[in-house]
Structures are given as structure tokens and as C-alpha cells.
Structure 1
Amino acid sequence: MAGIITRLAAMLSLAIMFAFVKLAGQQGVHVTESLFYRQLTAMPLICFLIWQSEAGWPAIKSNKHGLHILRSALGIFAMGLNFWAMTLLPLADATTISFTVPIFATLFAALILREKVGIRRWSAILIGFIGVLVVIQPGGTLIPAFGATVALVGALVTASVTLVIRMLGRTETSIVTIFWFSVYTLPALAVCAAIYGGGHDATTWGYLLGVGIFGAIGQLTITQSLRFAPISTIMPMDYSALLWATIIGVVVFGQWPGLSILLGAPIIIGSGLFIAWREHVRASRDANSEN
């Protein structure tokens, strides 16, 4: 229960963060500046978690810096696209498209990592893409084509990040991966923020502060949820993000989800949940065979 509640809080925090990203974007803030304050605010929290851990600072040592750099490059590109998508689309629309990440990740695992994917998961992938077509309505006008493309590419790159994180996870803890992600991305983001940033009024600075604070809270609660419960238990809670995004979109931005979202979101979510369940079954079977 602690894991479920913490994960729900994480999804709410991230939904609020994206709302601040959208509000900041409406004030003319460049995406890279929002990314910079998101990472800058998270860094002290990450350092605190490392300091509080049993292993302490020696735990950050790594011999996988090539993978960390690749993860950082892909991760910041993905995060930038996701932030940009939130400024281009209603929150519920962008959030729904982001749910395609497990579908793309499973596809990449089969094609790149040569993982065995059975007919059931291939079927779930196909059904998930049908849900995507329902949501974005190719050739239609319900969702802006450019915004939908940015969101889809963001989900695609995010899925590639999950593969790199899985490779790092064989030897690295999650907090170490997060630490080096911040270390490798902050300098480049600082340069971008200096180029594209500028003076802001108090309201805009408040939005940027909200991006940083709620991004850090989201990162902390996601990490903590994994300590309280297995990922197969808490992952379904991630789909609560659509509820939060819909509520915030209506209350703050006056944006109601369209019919395509109401029809397509359950298809995409159902596909993702089935893939997660099959991953859990496969992992349990492998663990039993090893024993």
C-alpha cells in the first residue's frame, strides 16, 4: 500500500510539473530553460539521497560511463521532447501519447536486445498502435499533427532510454544512474539556459520554481515507490497520470479531452498493462526455473 500511495503521489507531482512547464511555455520560456531548472533543483535531492544511503558517496563509482553518457544524451533529448509536447498539446492528449512508451520499449527489446516476445505481447503491441491511431486521428484535425509527432517521437526516444537503463541496471543502482544523468546534463543545459533564457517576471519565475520543485518531488517519490513495492505492483498506478492531467487541463487551462482520447486511451492503457503483466509472468517463470 505504501508503494501504491507513493507512486500515485509521484504521478500527481509529475502532472503538476508538466502543468508548470506548460504555463512557463505560455510565458515564452524556452524548453531548455525549463529543463535546466528541473535538473538543477533535483541535484541537491539526489546528493541528499546518496548521503543518506548505506553505501554513501563511494556508491557513485562506476565503470559504465559510456552507457551513462548515452543514457544522458538520450534522456535529456527525450525529456526535452516531452516538455515540448506538453506546451503544444492539451495535457491529457500529451499524457495519453506518452503511454506508448512500454509498447515501443517492448518492440525495441525484441528488435535490438533480441528478447523473446511471444504472440501475446506482439498482439498487445499491435493493439497499442491501433490505440495510437485512434488518438492522433491521422489526417484529422482533433489533435495538431506537429504536436502529436513531437509527443510520439518523445515516447520513442524515452523507450530507447529504458533499454539503456536496463543495461545499466545490471550493475548500477537507480540512484547512481540518476546522479550521473544530472552530472552529465547540467553543464550543457546551463549553456542552453544562458543562451535562450532571460529576465522573467515574478510569475514566470514561480512557474520555473514549480517545475523544479515538483520535478524533484516526482523523482524522489518514484525512487521511493520502488523501495516499498515491486514494479509489477506499482506500474499500473502510472496510468493515474491521465486522471491528474485531465483534471489540471480542465481546471487550469480549460481543455477537455476529445472523443479520440476517450476512445484511444483505454486501448493504449490496456495494451501497456497487458505487456507489464506478461513481463511479470516471464520474470517469475525465469526466477522459478533458476531455483
Structure 2
Amino acid sequence: MSLPPASLTTRQVLAGVLLLVTSLWALSGLDASGKYLMGADVGVTLFAVCLVRYGVHLVLTMITIIPVRGWKALRSSRPRAQMARGVSMLAATMLFFTALHYLPLGQATAINFLAPLIVLAAAPWVLKEPPFLSRWVAAGVGLLGVLVVVRPGSGLDPTGTLFGLLTACALASQFISSRRVAVDDPYTTLIWSGAVGTIIMTLLLPFYWQDLLALPGRLSAFEGLVLLGTGFWGCLGHFLQIHAYRTAPASLLAPFVYFQIISGAALGWLIWGQFPDLMSWLGIAIVCASGFTIGVIEWRRNSASRAGIPAAAS
């Protein structure tokens, strides 16, 4: 999906970075909306938030993609992998919204960035890729950074921390599934992302339909708009990421992914007055440095592989 570096222009690189950073703010907007809705002042249930989040996502993708690409956009060459990815994505959403009920947005977002390091560490077993010591070291250092964030005395709720770590595991599963559906059109994956979550939440309706029916009478117009906005922000974030990676190579965009910690911390401060302390920022810096460093190593290793140079077991 990415353009070869030689064909890139400065405008394309800047456009790709802008699209990616904007997508991260949109996804942080989704997270902040979920945290707000499930707070004590509003009290929307997790199931109701997830149904609306994925239902709106599905409707938006259908009305924007199908008129342009036709019904063939629904066809997947790997439907089982798409379903597995959709289930992992829904699980990550539910776990993260639960974590946000207990944790500040900035710290919870930082814990999520353990997920790509888990994927790299587990790649020899789940993706049948060669083992590299550098990946395991990066995963270990990233875990150390997370431990600094959630250290005793940080004031973070243990229950929220546990759900945050479970979210990272669910995201790792989602990333692995994303590798397996890469043969499909990204817009097909975007539709399936909303469809799988919507179908599962619809099947679970008997357990929470009364809460759902009570929402119109309980929510103000603003709160209702925030609820609908969960689907909008989620869909917009993933849509912008598709275009970002079509505009500039993933290797150039990788370092900017960590801007989501900044957007998460900024929204947490603006809405709830929650801002990570100095030690938390140290842990966040360790996580980011670990991810950035292994990203550079992986990029160099892939470049050497394309050039026919044997990769060292590092």
C-alpha cells in the first residue's frame, strides 16, 4: 500500500503525517467520549456505548464506501480472519472503555503501546517469523516503561491497570489479525470492523435492551451527540489512517503513532484535569523510545532483506 521512498515528495510525506496525526486525535476523541459516557455523571452502560459505537461505524462505512466501490467491497478473501480481527477489536474496545472507567486517559493510552511490542516478541510463534533478540529486548524495555507508569504510589487503580494490560493483549491479537487480512482492500476491512462488532452487540441485546430503551429519556442532547460521536470518531480515525498509509510509507509514519499519547494526555487534562506526573512521563518516554528504536531496527532489517543482505539474529 505504501509508495517506494524514491517516488515520495515532501508534500506527500507531510500529507501522510498530517493524516496520521489527525487520525490519532480522532481515536483519542473516541476514547474520551467513552470515558465521559461511562462516568458517574452520565452512566451509560458499556454494552450500550459499544453497540452505538460499532453501529454508527457500520452505517457510515456503508453509506460512504458502497456507493463508490459497490457491493464487492463486502467480499473478503479471508472472512474467518476478518471475523477474528473484528472480535479482537470489539474485545479491545470493551476492555479499554472499562480501563478508562478507572484510569486517566493519558496513562491508559500509554499502556496500550505495549501491544505492538507484544506482537514483535510473539512473532516467531504466531506469525512464524525468525526470532530476533532485539524484539524481545524491546518488549522487555517497553514492559519496564509500563511498570514505571503503573508503579506503586502512582495512584492508578489496580483494577483499571489490569484491564489496561488486558487491552494491550487484545490489541496485539487485533494487530496480528490485521496482518492476516492485509490481502483484502482496506475499505473492506473497515466495513467488517463495524459489521462484526455490530452483529455481536446485537446478539447480546437481550442482556441490556432495557438500558438501551431508557437512554433517550436519560441523556441530554449533548450527551446523545457524544454517544453518536463514538461511532463517528472511530470510523473517521480508521478512515484517515488508511489514507495516511496510502500516502506515505509505514516506516516514515511509525514514529508519529506515539503522538496518540500526547492527544490522550491533552484531552484527559482538558476534560478531567488529569495530567501524568513526572514519573509517569518517564515511563511513557521509555515505552516510546523502545517502540521507536525497534521500529528503526526493523526498518533497517527489512531494507537489508530487500537488498539481499542476510539479517543478523539481533
Please list every run of 5 or more consecutive structure 2 residues that lacks an aligned counterpart in the other structure.
Answer: 1-13, 310-314
Q: Quick check: 2:121–2:135 contact (8 Å CA) kept in 1?
A: no
Q: Aligned partners of 1:31, 1:122: CA distance in 2, in Å?
A: 35
Q: Aligned partners of 2:232, 2:87: CA distance in 1, in Å?
A: 23
* Equivalent position of 1:179 in the other structure: 191
* Equivalent position of 2:234 in the other structure: 215
Match of 1:123 among 127, 137, 151: 137
Shift of residue 289, structure 1, vs aligned partner: 2.9
* Equivalent position of 2:38 in the other structure: 25
Q: Deviations over 1:200-230 (max 9, x none)?
A: 3223212202222222221221111111111
Please list every run of 5 or more consecutive structure 1 residues that lacks an aligned counterpart in the other structure.
Answer: none
Q: Quick check: 1:232–1:276 contact (8 Å CA) kept in 2?
A: yes
TM-score by length of 2: 0.85
* Equivalent position of 1:282 in the other structure: 301
Match of 2:270 among 251, 269, 291: 251
* Equivalent position of 1:52 in the other structure: 68
Q: Quick check: 2:77–2:184 contact (8 Å CA) kept in 1?
A: no
Q: Aligned partners of 1:179, 1:73: CA distance in 2, in Å?
A: 14
Q: Deviations over 1:248-281 (max 9, x none)?
A: 1112101121233111000001111122222222
Q: Does 1:201 align with 2:219?
A: yes
The SS at the match of 2:43 is coil
Q: Say if 1:173 and 1:282 are closer, same or farther in 2 by CA, change over 3 A.
A: farther
The SS at the match of 1:103 is helix
Shift of residue 284, structure 1, vs aligned partner: 2.3
Q: Does 1:164 align with 2:180?
A: no
* Equivalent position of 2:287 in the other structure: 268
Q: Deviations over 1:122-148 (max 9, x none)?
A: 2211111111111111x4452111101
Q: Quick check: 1:89–1:143 contact (8 Å CA) kept in 2?
A: yes
Q: Aligned partners of 1:110, 1:196: CA distance in 2, in Å?
A: 44
Q: Quick check: 2:20–2:241 contact (8 Å CA) kept in 1?
A: yes
Q: Aligned partners of 1:128, 1:253: CA distance in 2, in Å?
A: 27
2:130 is matched by which residue type in structure 1?
Answer: K
The SS at the match of 1:289 is coil
Q: Deviations over 1:11-53 (max 9, x none)?
A: 1111122111111011111122212222122223322135434
Q: Does 1:150 align with 2:163?
A: yes
Match of 2:110 among 96, 101, 111: 96
Q: Quick check: 1:46–1:178 contact (8 Å CA) kept in 2?
A: yes
Q: Say if 1:289 and 1:150 are closer, same or farther in 2 by CA, change over 3 A.
A: same
Q: Say if 1:287 and 1:212 are closer, same or farther in 2 by CA, change over 3 A.
A: same
Count of residues in Structure 1 that have an aligned counterpart in Structure 2: 286
The SS at the match of 2:276 is coil
Q: Say if 1:118 and 1:41 are closer, same or farther in 2 by CA, change over 3 A.
A: same
Match of 2:85 among 66, 71, 78: 71
TM-score by length of 1: 0.91
Q: Deviations over 1:81-103 (max 9, x none)?
A: 12222222101110111111111
Which structure 1 residue ranges, 4+ long, deviate > 6 Å from structure 2? none
Q: Aligned partners of 1:141, 1:235: CA distance in 2, in Å?
A: 29
Shift of residue 160, structure 1, vs aligned partner: 1.2
| Residue range with higher mean Cα deviation, 13-22 or 175-184 | 175-184
Q: Aligned partners of 1:280, 1:35: CA distance in 2, in Å?
A: 36
The SS at the match of 2:155 is coil
Q: Provide the aligned C-alpha RMSD in A.
A: 2.0
Q: Quick check: 1:135–1:260 contact (8 Å CA) kept in 2?
A: yes
